[in-house]
Amino acid sequence: MRQTASRHLVPLPSRLATGDLAWRSVSAAGSALSPTGASWPDPDQIAAAYRSDRHLLIDGEAPEVWSPLSRFWRTGDGWVRTHGNYPHHASALRIGLRLANDASPDEIGERLAAMTAAAATEAVVGAGGLCVPVRRENPPHDQALRRHPLVETRRLADSPVRALPSDSTAAPLSGLRVLDLTRVIAGPVATRTLALAGADVLRIDPPHLPEPGWQHLDTGHGKRSALLDIAAERGSFERLLADADAIVLGYRPSALARLGLSPIELATRHPHLVIGQLSAWPGSASPRGFDSLVQAESGIAWLESPDGTTPGALPAQALDHSAGYLLAAGIASALRYRAEAGGGRLVRTSLRRVAAELLGMPRRTAAADCDPPRARTQDFSVAGLRVTTVAPAVRWPGSPEHFRPPRPWGGDPAEWW
């Protein structure tokens, strides 16, 4: 794909080439989904899509998307970054610090200020919470990561050719079935993109772990949503797998192994599957992680520091969004390869690998000023709520101008239409 000086065009101001990364990621998805060639996306729409949570309105109000426990904290010898948007992670953070479950942010800050960054990380992670030290950039490590493909694709199993059911330009993936076992941003962005291209995407969530309502409305477009305890209802889930064309995995590798859903196990039982896999960190032992934590651990937070003494952040959850679009591109390409030569394939990337890519791109000494993006939005109603979200950024000849609305979370049966 021809590359342009797009980091000057996509209004995501930062020292690192966030706009260029976003342009390339969205363009890759459009090229992979189009049977006839890509259309150049709108730089303003890309920026708006990467900051979609800031354009989201529910009944005319902007939702609160960050917990007060998801932030940087000063420690006795540096800084840490925590994530507490989910209630169980917030609880684990307090437990790890030996604080009451209603401890305030001020109390948490006092406790962390008396600890080293390493001790705080060990305590919180040991209790099942999310915390990383804010590190400086490590160029040799990033160079080593960049020696591996940004999106790895490899054949896992032999299976017969499966022709693509549709030759529609607008909906090139129509007739294909995709199981979605992802959460938060990166995975849902990938499956939302596949749904935009016509795939029948069925998202499966455990009944005991609801997704924040705003997050589902921000990334659930065009997908059905069902609740299923995979461990307890294994037969039902295996029937879904047998009739699926692809599955997208966002759970930690250790959790997938406990459920018998590692890529190797899936390919052994269902060799026809294209398996997409996302993780925060590379490798089979990837711990829990989120975009903000990877920014902190990789050195991005210091490179984006506003003053050189306090950590900063990218202007969007760019690692998440880029990983999602890139994974969608890889899955779409793998489905086309299967239609030509057969065989199930694994397509995977990690937020940390995307971070290494960004860290290897040209950078500025200061973030450039730019006007806010002119966002195209769309309105719909879900479960009685009036919702405004950003319209699609991915483009190809004949592609839809709007997403199909999300379905109510958990409101569909766990079965294919």
Q: How far apart are CA 59 and CA 386, in angstroms?
A: 5
Q: How far apart are CA 35 and CA 167, in angstroms?
A: 8
Q: How far apart are CA 184 and CA 2, in angstroms?
A: 31
Q: Give CATH for domain 6-63+139-288+313-390.
A: 3.40.50.10540
Contacts of 17 (CB under 8 A, 6+ apart): 7, 358, 361, 362, 363
Q: What is the pLDDT of residue 38?
A: 65
Rg over alpha carbons for the chain, rounded to the nearest Å, is: 21
Q: What is the pLDDT of residue 84?
A: 92
Q: How far apart are CA 212 and CA 223, in angstroms?
A: 16
Task: Provide the residue ranges of all domains of the chain, joining segments of one domain with +.
Answer: 6-63+139-288+313-390, 72-136
Q: How far apart are CA 346 and CA 264, in angstroms?
A: 9
Per-residue pLDDT of the chain (417 residues; tens, 9 = 90+): 334 444 448 999 999 999 999 999 999 999 999 877 767 899 999 999 999 999 999 999 999 999 999 999 999 999 999 999 999 999 999 999 999 999 999 999 999 999 999 999 999 999 999 999 999 999 999 999 999 999 999 999 999 999 999 888 889 999 999 999 999 999 999 999 999 999 999 999 999 888 888 999 999 999 999 999 999 999 999 999 999 999 999 998 888 999 999 999 999 999 999 999 999 999 866 678 899 999 999 999 999 999 999 999 999 999 999 999 999 999 999 999 999 999 999 999 999 999 999 999 999 888 777 777 789 999 999 999 999 999 999 999 899 999 999 999 999 999 998
